[in-house]
Structures are given as structure tokens and as C-alpha cells.
Amino acid sequence: METKDQTLERRWTPPRLNAEDDDDEIDLLQLWQTIWRRKWSILTLVLVVMMVATLVVLSITPIFRAASTLLIEQKAAKVVSIEQVYGLEGTGNEYLQTQFELLKSRALAERVVRQLNLTTHPEFDPRQQPEPLIDVKGLLAGFNLGKVVPVTLPEDLEEGVDPTEAQIFAEVTDAFMERVTISPQGKTQMVKVEVEMADARTAAKAANALAQGFIESQLEASMEMSMTATNWMNSRLGELRTKLKAAEDRLQSYREAENLVDVQGVATISANELSMTGDRMIDARRQRAEAESQYKQVQSMRAGGWEKLATLPAVLGHPLIQQFKAEEARARAKVDELSKRYGALHPAMEAARTELKAATGSLRGQVEQIVAGIERNYQLAVANEGSLRASFEANKSQIQNISRKEFKLRELQREVDTNRALYDTFMNRLKETAATSDLETANARIVDEAIVPTEPVKPKKTLIVAIAGLLALFVGVGLSLLLEALNNTFKSTDDVEAKLNLPVMGILPLVKGKERKQIARLFSTNTDKSFAESVRTIRTSLVLSSIDDAHKRIVVTSSIPGEGKSSVSANLAIALGQMHKVLLIDADMRRPTLAKSFELPVGTPGLANLIAGTAKLEDCVKHIEGIDMLSAGTVPPNPLELLSSPRFAKVLEVLGGHYDRIIIDSPPTQAVSDAIVLGTFADALIYVVKSEATAVPLVVKGVGQLLQNNAPVTGVVLNQVDIKKAKRYGYSYGGYYDYYGYSSQKA
């Protein structure tokens, strides 16, 4: 057999209160149930926010958007090639980006503001701005915020000082630039110029004015560049003309100073003469070498006489020498022949010797003549070579001099040609500029002009209201989950059973508009069918739980005051009184309520008097509503000592012999320790929890203290349940609530 303590330990296990002990998994079903329980609150919030958003967007001034489309040419037609002077080729992505930025320029915006006279337009003119719907400054002035440090405004924004026209123009220009959008169209050369304004017609005019102003500004810039280039070329042309004249004068002066007519022809003749002189000098050098060789032979043979000279090749090879040698040889042969026949004095011998002598003399004379000719030829060859060399050097010096003059002349001629070419180029450009100065060209053209828009682009009412509703839905869901997380109370029977591991004996609905004494007698008056059925359910649960072990002494307690334990005790006692003989004891001697609820006279003796022995039992017990009741009596200074005394145990023992059920209304567990003491005398203990009011840790702590002191906690009564609210939030109570009784009460 299990003991009473083992049964309680098996029946109740302390719940886990820390989130660290829970699983990390998110219970999506629980989240959905939380959201579903508050669906009407969430929907109400969404509807309210959407209605407010609708009112707000209806009060916003609609904004219209007008758009004009421009086509920007990457390379403008070059009537005058001034771009080369300025380095503008007009090609590439950088060029297009530059044009897009020019469309955003302040100068162009000022041009449009001035053209459309936007400084007097009500939408831009600060002097015509409407008064604000809410005077924030006036509202702040109504609050006593103590000493406020004054804020020093800029001079142009101080109150009472009228802005100047320049300030108004600058402010209007800034406002207009904020409403202009330049949007390049993909990878094309087209750009869309958009203007947003409340005045649709003015927006279209402004978009067209921006596009046209851009084209006109480009034309003006082109004309200004052309004029600037023309002026620069005129000044440059004068400089080039002066330089060309100076170069031509220097060339002519040099020709006159050097007496140059045709340098090219003179240089050609001199070169031919030099070539011929060189050839002749080569022949003369060869001839001089040959003559010198013969001359040296003659000089070397001169010491040997003329006979030796006659053996020289140059002499011997001479025809006359050969002839004279032949005559001499014949004369000598004749002398030799006659000498064989005649004597030396023979006339024939004399005649032969005379003839030989004459032949020898002729030969000698001819040899000497030839040798003299060789010497003269050598001298002539040397003189001829020297003359040709001198002539060659003279021709070479003349050619070098002519080359130097030619180089100088060519240098001067090149300078003249360069200056003339540059002068002619600038002259041609200047004539082209003058001929086309009145022709206007632009690098952009309008593809689509802006038309007056018929539909506003701002505010997007449907989108704003939808977003507001969606945000409200998210906020509502978030608040629901947050409130659910912060609301650490018992909202349903499932919460009680899950968090306390104790059975729920029943629930009591919230009774509105009734006083405490009326609620204490609500079961007997039977004015609230649902409440009465709920009490019967609790009675049935209590009776069924005591089949094996009759619960004679039943303690009713709660965690904190105000949870309705006294009302539960009174109604439960009256319900049990229909079946048994019941005694209701008010053991809450610190804050007794049953005497007031049942309108007992002041000073009526009760439990305190009975324990203290100052009153008899028959004087203390009163018969009310079919049951006997023992009030708290005179409030003692030491209630806990009275309840812990043996006399109290004796009183309970005596009363147990007279009654079938004794209902004891106990003080709260978290206020004093009286409930723990009373729990030791109880056969059953009913714990009352106020729905959606009492914190879970308080209940867990109270139940734990009771069980630690072996109090027989039988079950929990969930009190003051708002049934309608619970139905809206989707809480289900199953068999704990008599639906038919509630339906009849509604009927």
C-alpha cells in the first residue's frame, strides 16, 4: 500500500519554469493559436490603421509627373571644326554622362524658373505658402517646459524680416531642382526629363522648358565658342602674317647679300668640274709617277756617261736611238772589216773611222737629247700635277661654300613655307567661320514633348493603404506574440494542467456587476445558471475524487488575496449542503469576509472565540443558506498561533463528528503561513487561481510549499474566467463547463 506522501509525490511533479529547460524547437501550432485567439483585435487594428491611412492619403495633395524625352547625339555636325581646338570629340560614355549632368545643372534650372516665372507660383513662392494645419510652435508654447534657450535663426530666416528677391529666387530654384529627375533610358542615347508638381499643366510646361532650354543653352554655348574661336583666329592670323612677312624678308635679304640666283645649278656645275679635275689629277699623278721613275733612272746612270745612259730602257726603246745604234753598228762593222784588209792609214780606213765617229757622235747626241727630254717630261708632270691639285682644292672649297649657302637658304625657305602654310590654314578656317557663323547646330533634339498628365503619381493611395494595413498586421501579430509572452498567467485549463501537473476540478465564470456578498450567495439564488452549473461541476469533481477516501475536511486557498477563494468556499459549501451536512469555516482571521458576505451582526463570535474558549460552539455556529457557518469571530493578534494550537485540532475533531463535510476558507499561501498549517489538517485542498491575473511562478511556489508540507492538494479551480473573451481567443474548456447551462443563461 502506498502512503499518502508517496501518492502525492507520484501525482505531482514540479513544472519547468525556465525557458532554458524547454526544447529549442518553436511550436508553430502554439504561435498560430496565439495569433488566432487575438484575430479580432488584430483585424480591428488593421482596419483602424487602414482607415486612418485612407484619411491621410486623401488629405495629401496629389502630385503629377510630366516627362519630356531628349535624344542626345554623341557627335554633333561640325560646321566649324572648333572641337579640335577645344579637345571636344563628342563621343563616348563620358560625353553622355556630361550631358546628363548638364541637364541637372543649376544654371538650367534658373533659366526655367525665370522663363516660367515660378517665383510667383503658389506652389513655390514662400510668401504664398498656406498656414500649417497644426501649429507645433503654438502647442509647445502651451506647455510649461521651464526656461527655453532661444534659437538664433540665420539672418535671412528671422521672423519679421522679408526675404529679398534674390533669396526667394534661390529658394524657388532649390525647390524646383528637387522636383526634377533625369533618367537615362537604358543603353540608349535617350534621356527622360521628368518634373513632379501639384499643378499638372505647369509640370508639363516645366519639362518642355527644361528640354528646350538645354538645346538653346547648347546652341548658345556653340555660338559663344565659335565667336571666341573667331576672335582668337583673327588675333592669331595677324601674328602669323607678321611672322610670314619677316621670314620672307630674311630670305630675300640673304639672296641679295650672297648674290644667289640658282644655287642648285651652280652647285651642279661645280660638282661636275670637281669630278673632271679629279680625273685629270689622277692621270697627272700617274704620268708624274712614270716620269719620276724614268728621271730617277737617268740620275742614277748619269755618272756612267752617255754610254750607260744609252742602256736605259726609256732611251734604248726610242726609235731614233735604235736607228743610230744600227748605223753605228754598221760603221763599226765596216771599220772591223776594212781593218782586216787595210792598214790604219789607209784612206778607206780613215774614211770608215770618220764614218764610225760620226755615227757615234750622232748616237751620243741623240741619247743626250732623249735624257734631256725625260728630265723635261718629269718637270712638266710635276708642274701639271701641282696645278691640277690646286684647281681641285679650289673647286672643293667653292662647293663647300655653295653648300653652306644652300643650307642657310633652305632653312630660310622652310621657315617661309611653314609660316605660309599655317597662315593659309587659319585664313581658310576664318573664312569658313565667317561664312557659317549664322548657322545654328545642336547636339540634342526633343523626341517626345511632355503632355499634361491626367493621373497623379503621388500618393499611391492603394499601395499606401495596403502597406499600412500590412504593417498594422505585422504589428498586431507582433504585439499579440509579445503580450502572450509577457502574460505569464493561467488563461485556460490546458495552461493549468501543463504548468502545474494538477487536475482542474472546474472553472467559474466571471460575474460582472455584482458585489462580493451577492457572489457568495450566487449558487443559492440561482440567478446565474452558468455559475451554478460550474459550481455543481466542481462539487461533482470533489465528490468523485473522494470515493475511496472521503474528503471530510476540505481547505480552499489561493496564492494572493483577491482571487475569489472565499466566494468559491461559500458557493461550494452551499452546493455540498444540498447533499450532505456541511460546515463552512472562515479560517482567514486576518482578513475575514464571510461574515460580511452573509451579513452577520458585528461582534458575532466565531472560530477565534471558540479556540480561545471565550464562546460556546452553539453561539458561534450560524445556520445560513442550508448550511452551518463558523465565522472568523474576533480578529486575534496571533492567528497563526491559534491555528497551530492543540485546541484548534480538538475543535476540528469535535466538529468532524457533527458534519459530513467541513469547508475551510484559508488565507492565501503567499501572504502568511496559515494555509500551510491548515493543510496539515485537511483531507483535500482546493487551490483557487484567478484566470489571467495570477502569475504562474506564484501559483507554482504556493503549490510547492503546500506539497512540501504534505498538504493533500486535490485540484485547481480556475476562477473568474471571461467566457466570451475566451471564446473569442479560441480557448476551449471541454467538459469543465456546462454549455447548455450557459446557453440557457444567455436565452
pLDDT tens-digit readout, 107-133: 888 888 898 888 888 888 877 766 554
| pLDDT over 70, % of the chain | 80
Residues 496 and 427 grouped into a single domain: no
Residues 367 and 504 grouped into a single domain: no
Q: What integer pLDDT is reported at residue 689 of this predicted model?
A: 92
The Cα–Cα gap between 40 and 208 comes to 53
Burial 296-322 (b: 16+ CB within 10 A, else e): ebbeebeeeebeebbebebbeebeebe
Most confident of the ranges 13-17, 146-150, 359-363, 622-626 = 622-626
The Cα–Cα gap between 268 and 380 comes to 31
- How crowded is the C-beta side of 387, counted as CA atoms within 13 Å? 10
Residues 332 and 402 grouped into a single domain: yes
Q: Give the pLDDT band of residue 743 (cuts 50, 70, 90).
A: very low
Higher pLDDT, 41 or 431: 41
**Does any domain span residue 696?**
yes
Is residue 512 pLDDT above 60, yes or no? yes
Is residue 323 pLDDT above 90, yes or no? no
pLDDT 10s digits, 548-580: 667 889 999 998 998 888 999 999 999 999 888
Q: What integer pLDDT is reported at residue 317 of this predicted model?
A: 65
**Does any domain span residue 271?**
yes
Is residue 164 pLDDT above 70, yes or no? yes
Q: Give the pLDDT band of residue 7 (cuts 50, 70, 90).
A: very low
Q: Which residues contact 333 (CB under 8 A, 6 or more apart)?
A: none
- The whole-number average pLDDT for the span 591-601 is 87
User: What is the DSSP-derived secondary structure letter of residue 129?
Assistant: P
Is residue 703 pLDDT above 80, yes or no? yes
**Does any domain span residue 393?**
yes
Residues 517 and 394 grouped into a single domain: no
Is residue 192 pLDDT above 80, yes or no? yes
Using an 8 Å Cβ cutoff, are 609 and 635 in contact?
no
Q: What integer pLDDT is reported at residue 90 of this predicted model?
A: 46
- The whole-number average pLDDT for the span 242-265 is 74
Q: What integer pLDDT is reported at residue 556 of this predicted model?
A: 93
The DSSP code sequence of 662-717 is EEEEPPPTTT-SHHHHHHTT-SEEEEEEETTTSBHHHHHHHHHHHHHTT--EEEEE
Ranking 558-567, 630-639, 675-684 by mean pLDDT, the lowest is 630-639
Using an 8 Å Cβ cutoff, are 504 and 736 in contact?
yes
Identify how many contiguous H helices and E strands the chain contains and give both numbers: 29, 12
Is residue 504 pLDDT above 70, yes or no? yes
Residues 495 and 414 grouped into a single domain: no
The Cα–Cα gap between 536 and 253 comes to 143
Residue with cell 483531507: 683
- The domain that holds 286 is classified in CATH as 1.10.287
Residues 491 and 431 grouped into a single domain: no
**Does any domain span residue 546?**
yes
Q: How many domains does the chain have?
A: 2
Residues 491 and 425 grouped into a single domain: no
Q: What integer pLDDT is reported at residue 152 of this predicted model?
A: 44
Q: Give the pLDDT band of residue 149 (cuts 50, 70, 90).
A: very low
- The domain that holds 541 is classified in CATH as 3.40.50.300
Q: Give the pLDDT band of residue 148 (cuts 50, 70, 90).
A: very low
Look at residues 395, 415, 436 and tell me which one is the last residue of a structural domain: 436
Residues 313 and 404 grouped into a single domain: yes
Residues 599 and 703 grouped into a single domain: yes
Is residue 456 pLDDT above 80, yes or no? yes
Is residue 221 pLDDT above 50, yes or no? yes
Look at residues 371, 404, 436 and tell me which one is the last residue of a structural domain: 436
Is residue 333 pLDDT above 60, yes or no? yes
**Does any domain span residue 20?**
no
Q: What integer pLDDT is reported at residue 51 of this predicted model?
A: 93
Q: What integer pLDDT is reported at residue 594 of this predicted model?
A: 87
Residue with cell 509647445: 140
Q: What integer pLDDT is reported at residue 662 of this predicted model?
A: 92
Q: Which residues contact 468 (CB under 8 A, 6 or more apart)?
A: 49, 50, 52, 53
Is residue 419 pLDDT above 70, yes or no? yes
3-class state of residue 446 by DSSP: strand
Provide the residue range defining the domain that includes 375: 263-436
**Does any domain span residue 303?**
yes
Q: Give the pLDDT band of residue 225 (cuts 50, 70, 90).
A: confident
Residues 426 and 496 grouped into a single domain: no
**Does any domain span residue 612?**
yes
Q: What integer pLDDT is reported at residue 47 of this predicted model?
A: 93
Is residue 470 pLDDT above 90, yes or no? yes
Using an 8 Å Cβ cutoff, are 673 and 640 in contact?
yes
Is residue 721 pLDDT above 90, yes or no? no
Would you tell me how many other CB atoms lie within 10 Å of the CB of residue 51? Answer: 13
Higher pLDDT, 46 or 21: 46
509 - beta bridge partners? Answer: 721
Helix (H) or strand (E) holding 406: helix 347-436
Residues 546 and 663 grouped into a single domain: yes
Is residue 466 pLDDT above 50, yes or no? yes
Is residue 10 pLDDT above 50, yes or no? no
Q: With the CA atoms of 465, 467, 468 and 469 taken in that order, what torsion angle do they form, in degrees rounded to the nearest 10?
A: 90
- Continuous H helices in 259-346: 263-301, 305-309, 313-316, 319-341
The Cα–Cα gap between 495 and 178 comes to 59
**pTM to 2 decimal places:** 0.51
Residue 206: is it exposed, middle or buried by C-beta count within 10 angstroms (0-12/13-18/19+)? buried
**Does any domain span residue 560?**
yes
Look at residues 416, 436, 456 and tell me which one is the last residue of a structural domain: 436
Nearest alpha-carbon partner for 525 in 575, 583, 580: 575
Residues 727 and 657 grouped into a single domain: yes
